[in-house]
Structure formats: C-alpha cells, structure tokens
C-alpha cells in the first residue's frame, strides 16, 4: 500500500470516528431534550390522547373504575362502564392503566373541553336521573342532583327528600344509576 492509500485510509478512519462521536453525542442530546420536554406532559394530555380506549382508573374513595374513556375536560373525565357512566374528578385519579403512549397538548383541545365539572353535573341535574356520588373519604350519597353551584352541588337523598350540599373538593366521582 502506498503512502497516499495509507493517508486516505487514515482520513477515512478519522472521519468514521468523528461520525461515531457525533452520533453518540447527538443521541445523548436527544435523550436529554426528550426528558426535558416530557416534564411538560400532563395527566390530562395523556388522557386526551386516550379518548376512545378502554382504561382502568384508581380513584380516591372509590377504588377501581374500568371502562371506555369517552371525554376529558377541565378537571373531569367521563368513563362509560357498561350500564353506568362515571364522571370522575381528575384530581381524584390516583392511577391510570391502558393509556395511550401519546399525549395531546392542551392548546390542541377543543373549546368544549373548557367546560368544568359543574357543567357535567348540571347535565345530570337537568335530566333528573338518580346518581351515586362517591366522596374522596370513601363515603357515598345516593339521590338526585337538584342544583349545581359554582363549587358545590345539591343532592336530594332518601325517602325524606333531605337535601345535602356536596363540595366539589370532597367529590371523587358521580356514577349514573340508570
């Protein structure tokens, strides 16, 4: 092999080494960027990407809730579980299984997702259907929602038609009874 061939082989080797070092550095930078960007992902954005999928939730005061995720909105989600629908307060969700690997950033959500928990509960109240309210402490109240305020709802319970005010901060989920 002549000196020119040796020189070109040396340059090829140096170029290969430089490419390998660049690729390794680039992989580390991409992994670092990925970790930094993932800290912006919220549970709500993962849930939004999971609409239409069967999911399993752990919910404070309720335990396991399983069904098809139908809707995600501001602070709540709707799960269809056989004959019953669940309105689950997002802040009461402790675990989630079956979620999509993807996420949908909040800027891409429909304007309808800005409807809060009060809007969802008002629909139940307007329908006059019986429901079961699950509180975060594990207790339950069975009745009919009558009115919904800014941060509470009125539930008419029992044969004596007693009205109980339930603070949203205590609510974990509302389950349809129809």
In terms of average pLDDT, the best of 27-36, 55-64, 97-106 is 55-64
Q: Would you state the pLDDT for residue 61?
A: 95
Q: Collapsing DSSP states into helix, strand and coil, what is residue 18?
A: helix
Please state the rounded mean pLDDT for residues 132-156. Answer: 96
Q: Collapsing DSSP states into helix, strand and coil, what is residue 75?
A: coil
Q: Would you state the pLDDT for residue 83?
A: 86
What's the CATH number for 43-176? Answer: 2.30.30.100
User: In this structure, what token pair is assigned to residue 14?
Assistant: 């140096």
Band (35; pLDDT cuts 50, 70, 90):
low
What are the structural domain ranges in the chain? 1-38, 43-176
In terms of average pLDDT, the best of 30-39, 48-57, 104-113 is 48-57
In the block, tokens 């404070």 appear at 60
Helices (H) and strands (E) in the chain, counts: 3, 10
8 A C-beta contact, residue 116 and residue 76: yes
Q: Collapsing DSSP states into helix, strand and coil, what is residue 161?
A: coil
Residue 110 CA, chain-centre distance (Å), reads 15
Give Cβ neighbours of residue 32 (< 8 Å, ≥ 6 apart).
Answer: none
Q: Would you state the pLDDT for residue 176?
A: 86
Q: Would you state the pLDDT for residue 105?
A: 85
Band (16; pLDDT cuts 50, 70, 90):
confident
Alpha carbons 81 and 171: distance in angstroms, whole number = 19
Given a cut of 60, whether residue 18 has pLDDT beyond it is: yes
Given a cut of 60, whether residue 53 has pLDDT beyond it is: yes
Q: Would you state the pLDDT for residue 108?
A: 82
pTM of structure = 0.78
29-33, 76-80, 146-150, 151-155: segment of lowest average pLDDT: 29-33
Band (145; pLDDT cuts 50, 70, 90):
very high
């Amino acid at each position: 092999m002549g000196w020119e061939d040796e020189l070109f082989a040396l340059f090829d080797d140096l170029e290969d080494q430089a490419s390998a070092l660049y690729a390794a550095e680039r992989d580390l930078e991409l992994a670092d960027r990925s970790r930094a960007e993932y800290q912006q992902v919220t549970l709500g954005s993962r849930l939004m990407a999971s609409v239409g999928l069967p999911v399993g939730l752990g919910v404070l005061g309720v335990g396991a809730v399983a069904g098809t995720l139908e809707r995600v909105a501001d602070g709540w989600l709707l799960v269809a579980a056989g004959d019953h629908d669940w309105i689950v307060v997002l802040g009461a969700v402790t675990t989630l299984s079956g979620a999509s690997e993807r996420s949908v950033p909040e800027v891409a959500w429909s304007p309808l997702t800005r409807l809060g928990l009060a809007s969802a509960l008002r629909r139940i109240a307007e329908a006059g259907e019986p429901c079961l309210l699950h509180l975060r402490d594990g207790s339950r109240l069975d009745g009919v929602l009558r009115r919904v305020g800014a941060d509470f709802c009125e539930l008419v319970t029992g044969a004596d038609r007693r009205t109980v005010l339930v603070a949203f901060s205590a609510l974990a989920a509302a389950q349809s009874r129809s």
